[in-house]
């Protein structure tokens, strides 16, 4: 039962954002687009550590890439404090792609795990829509040049239309204190409202008979059902049912209604917060909420500007395929050093299957002001993987490759073959 609830919730998660915006911008929007398969994309830029205040700090860098049944990246930095005072250093480790679990990313300072925060800087996905073919697809960068173009461009400011939209007020009706017999039967609550009232739903279905219905769920992945309206709803009537066909009326199936008049911005923020908390229940890490909200505003603004239908977005789509900065701080004693270790899994399947450009790139100084005095790379390949091409000057037909990096070159590439 919980699995069914979770699947339904996942499908409906993003509807709220769509409906809130439609309340203000347009009448009921008819979606006719179809999804097209995602393209394979480049996802292999290994970028250098970033530092806020680089004065009196130098570093050495050793990178190990181990490709077997996964794509394991290990980076060791030794940071030197050349000053005569202890320094607290703010650091950011750049990551392109998707983090599915904290266990896939680890940071250690002198062998001890340290806390960090994941900040979503900007999306690296884009959206294209063909009115002629009614196709809607997410597109992603295929090479390092496209990624650099995205990261080097300053984020656009929100349009005045979007700013005005976020300030406008809506009535939000949340269905809380939901009660129903938890005997395994799927129960429903119908919502009757005055006709001709423009109502937009979050986690609420509208069935074939034009009846708004809530599938009752109080599980750990349950989202709060919600109605959103520009105008105040003067009369809402609830009826509980203990069957999916809405034949068996039950007074045990009920809920309370909380009414609130808030801005579109607050409504969106509240929905994203709930979605974030639910999506991250099993992810074991935190993502800066404001960074998600701000990036979502820009995404919606861009889609509105390009007349792209706002499709079924969920928080998983929002934090998928993005540029992150994983922030933390360390203390380095005067005239001393500290060793930092970063370990994570890269999206090896996409990277190795890519036919668009190089499997992955190694960046020496890109977007970093940290003075790295030496860099070394170690590549470990296990069957069925082998080295196809590179510009590092690696010897072919080996299983372990090691190379000192020429710092005068900004980027290197490595292509991998997969034997069937």
Query: Maximum Cα–Cα distance for the chain, whole Å?
Result: 79
What residues in the chain have per-residue pLDDT under 50?
Answer: 1-40, 311-312
Q: What is the pLDDT of residue 28?
A: 26
**CA pair distance 55, 371, nearest whole angstrom:** 9
User: How does 51-77 read in b/e, with b if 16+ C-beta sit within 10 Å?
Assistant: beeeebbbbbbbbbbebeeebbbebbb
13 CB-contact burial (10 Å; exposed 0-12 / middle 13-18 / buried 19+): buried
User: How do residues 76-97 score in pLDDT, each as one tens digit?
Assistant: 999 999 999 999 999 999 998 8
DSSP H/E element including 315: helix 315-318
Q: Copy the structure tokens of residue 313.
A: 């977005």
> Rounded to whole angstroms, how far apart are CA atoms 279 and 275?
6
Closest CA to 36 of 142, 126, 131, 134: 134
Contact residues for 43 (Cβ-Cβ < 8 A; gap 6+): 96, 97, 140, 321, 346, 347, 350, 351, 354, 360
Question: From start to end of 48-168, where are the E strands?
Answer: 50-51, 57-67, 71-81, 87-97, 105-109, 112-113, 117-123, 126-130, 135-139
* Dist CA 65 CA 400 (whole Å): 10
The reported pLDDT for the residue numbered 190 is: 96
Give the pair of three-digit tokens for residue 283.
């992810």
DSSP class of 138: E
Quick check: helix, strand or coil at residue 332? strand
Secondary structure element (H or E) that encloses residue 345, with its range: strand 336-345
Residue 419 · residue 386 · CB < 8 Å: yes
Residue 177 has what pLDDT? 96
Residue labelled with tokens 């530092």: 51
Looking at residue 420, what is its pLDDT? 64
Q: What is the per-residue pLDDT for 19? A: 40
Q: Contact at 8 Å (CB) between 310 and 127?
A: no
Q: Is 251 exposed, middle or buried (0-12, 13-18, 19+ CB in 10 A)?
A: exposed
Residue-wise pLDDT tens digits, 222-273: 989 999 888 999 999 999 999 988 999 999 999 999 999 999 899 889 988 8
């Amino acid at each position: 039962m919980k699995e069914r609830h979770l699947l339904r919730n996942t499908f409906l998660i993003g509807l709220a954002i769509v409906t809130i915006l439609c309340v203000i911008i347009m009448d009921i929007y008819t979606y006719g687009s179809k999804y097209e398969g995602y393209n394979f994309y480049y996802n292999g830029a290994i970028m250098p550590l970033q530092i806020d205040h680089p004065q009196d700090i130098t570093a050495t860098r050793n990178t190990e890439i181990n490709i077997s049944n996964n794509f394991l990246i290990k980076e060791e930095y030794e940071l030197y404090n050349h000053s005569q005072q202890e320094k607290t250093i703010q650091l950011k480790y750049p990551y392109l792609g998707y983090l599915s679990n904290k266990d896939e990313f680890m940071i250690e300072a002198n062998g001890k795990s340290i806390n960090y925060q994941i900040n979503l800087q900007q999306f690296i996905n884009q959206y294209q829509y063909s009115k002629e073919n009614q196709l809607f697809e997410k597109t992603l960068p295929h090479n390092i040049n496209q990624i650099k173009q995205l990261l080097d461009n300053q984020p656009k400011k929100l349009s005045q239309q979007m700013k005005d939209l976020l300030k406008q007020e809506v009535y939000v009706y949340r269905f809380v204190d939901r009660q129903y017999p938890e005997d395994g039967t799927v129960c429903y609550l119908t919502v009757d409202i005055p006709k001709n009232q423009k109502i937009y739903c979050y986690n609420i279905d509208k069935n074939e008979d034009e009846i708004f219905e809530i599938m009752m769920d109080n599980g750990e992945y349950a989202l709060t059902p919600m109605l959103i309206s520009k105008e105040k709803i003067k009369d809402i009537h609830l009826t509980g049912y203990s069957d999916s066909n809405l034949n068996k009326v039950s007074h045990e199936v009920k809920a309370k209604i909380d009414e609130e008049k808030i801005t579109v911005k607050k409504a969106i923020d509240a929905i994203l917060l709930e979605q974030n908390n639910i999506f991250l229940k099993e992810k074991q890490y935190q993502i800066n909420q404001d960074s998600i909200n701000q990036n979502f505003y820009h995404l919606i603004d861009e889609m509105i500007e390009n007349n792209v239908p706002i499709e079924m977005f969920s928080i998983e789509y929002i934090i998928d395929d993005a540029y992150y900065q994983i922030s933390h701080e360390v203390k380095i004693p005067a005239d001393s050093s500290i060793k930092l270790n970063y370990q994570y899994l890269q999206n090896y399947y996409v990277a190795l299957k890519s036919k668009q450009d190089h499997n992955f790139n190694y960046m020496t100084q890109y977007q970093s002001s940290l003075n790295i005095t030496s860099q070394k790379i170690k590549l470990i390949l296990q069957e069925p993987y082998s080295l196809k091409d590179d510009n590092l000057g690696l010897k072919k037909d080996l299983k372990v490759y090691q190379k000192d990096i020429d710092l005068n070159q900004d980027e290197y590439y490595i292509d991998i073959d997969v034997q069937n």
